[in-house]
Amino acid sequence: MEDKKAREILEHYKYEQNQLIHILQDIQTEYRYLPRETLSFVSRELKIPLSRVYSVGNFYNAFSLKPKGRHLISVCLGTACHVRGGKRISEEIERVLNVKSGGTTPDQEYTLETVNCVGACALGPVIVVDGKYHGQMTSAKAKKLLSAMKDSGGNGKNGKNKKS
Ligand code: FES
């Protein structure tokens, strides 16, 4: 099946097999995951075995073979965040969004995941929303943040930017 967006990405990388990781990164950015049909298309166009395309897709954590929501919420459960209540925060978010960690809400708005240390332990507990770090998190603050996101359809702009 022709995939116009994937075609543009392949053209950008001049169909070079050694650009496979970059190609998959761009596809992931475009679709927020790696659709099965697109991977088959890439495999055919680059003349790379599908098994190899999948093995790259499976190897890197940044890639997802399952659809993700418009907003990605990552709750840190690394040691520093865990001991400061990270688990309670993740449970609160699960409750508010009615989705289990690792899952996506049925409206495809939110994907919730837990991660191990995002490198900002001093700010813990930390959650990362669409790439923005929110430190000294509490269940109440998480609830407020989600409610602000739902109200604005935004991405929690009030949080701190990337760790410094
Ligand atoms: S353990 Fe959460 S940022 Fe390091």
- Distance of CA 8 from the midpoint of ligand 1 (Å): 38
Coil, helix or strand for 113? Answer: strand
Q: How many domains does the chain have?
A: 2
pLDDT in tens, 88-107: 999 999 999 999 998 999 99
DSSP annotation of 106: T
- Distance of CA 126 from the midpoint of ligand 1 (Å): 7
Q: Any idea which residue has 């169909």 for tokens?
A: 15
What range defines the domain where residue 9 resides?
4-59
| Ligand 1, pocket-test mutation among 74, 75, 81, 132, most atoms within 8 A of CB | 81
Burial category of 83 from C-beta neighbours within 10 Å (exposed 0-12, middle 13-18, buried 19 and up): exposed
Which atom number of ligand 1 is nearest to the Cα of residue 118? 3
Coil, helix or strand for 7? Answer: helix
Determine the Cα–Cα distance for residues 45 and 62; give it in Å rounded to an integer. 23
DSSP annotation of 151: H
DSSP annotation of 65: S
- The predicted pLDDT at position 156 comes to 44
Determine the Cα–Cα distance for residues 32 and 26; give it in Å rounded to an integer. 9
Determine the Cα–Cα distance for residues 25 and 28; give it in Å rounded to an integer. 5
142 with 95, same domain?
A: yes
**Does residue 30 fall inside a structural domain?**
yes
Which atom number of ligand 1 is nearest to the Cα of residue 76? 2
88 with 140, same domain?
A: yes
75 with 136, same domain?
A: yes
Determine the Cα–Cα distance for residues 122 and 77; give it in Å rounded to an integer. 14
- The predicted pLDDT at position 163 comes to 42
**Does residue 86 fall inside a structural domain?**
yes
Q: Is 32 annotated as a binding residue?
A: no
82 with 136, same domain?
A: yes
Q: How many CB atoms lie within 10 A of CB 14?
A: 7
**Does residue 158 fall inside a structural domain?**
no
145 with 77, same domain?
A: yes
**Does residue 113 fall inside a structural domain?**
yes
The pTM assigned to this predicted structure is 0.70
Q: Is 81 annotated as a binding residue?
A: yes
- The predicted pLDDT at position 67 comes to 84
- The predicted pLDDT at position 2 comes to 63
Which residues make Cβ contacts (< 8 Å) with residue 102, sequence separation at least 6? 112, 113, 114
**Does residue 65 fall inside a structural domain?**
no
Domain CATH code at residue 79: 3.40.30.10
82 with 53, same domain?
A: no
112 with 55, same domain?
A: no
35 with 100, same domain?
A: no
Pocket of ligand 1 (CB under 6 A): 76, 78-81, 117-121, 124, 126
**Does residue 159 fall inside a structural domain?**
no
Angle between helix 36-46 and helix 4-12 axes, rounded to 10 deg: 40
**Does residue 164 fall inside a structural domain?**
no
Per-residue pLDDT of the chain (164 residues; tens, 9 = 90+): 568 999 999 999 999 999 999 999 999 989 888 999 999 999 999 999 999 999 998 888 778 888 888 899 999 999 999 999 999 999 999 999 999 998 999 998 999 999 999 999 999 999 999 889 999 999 999 999 999 998 876 544 444 444 43
- Give the domain-ending residue among 59, 88, 106: 59
**Does residue 66 fall inside a structural domain?**
no
42 with 93, same domain?
A: no
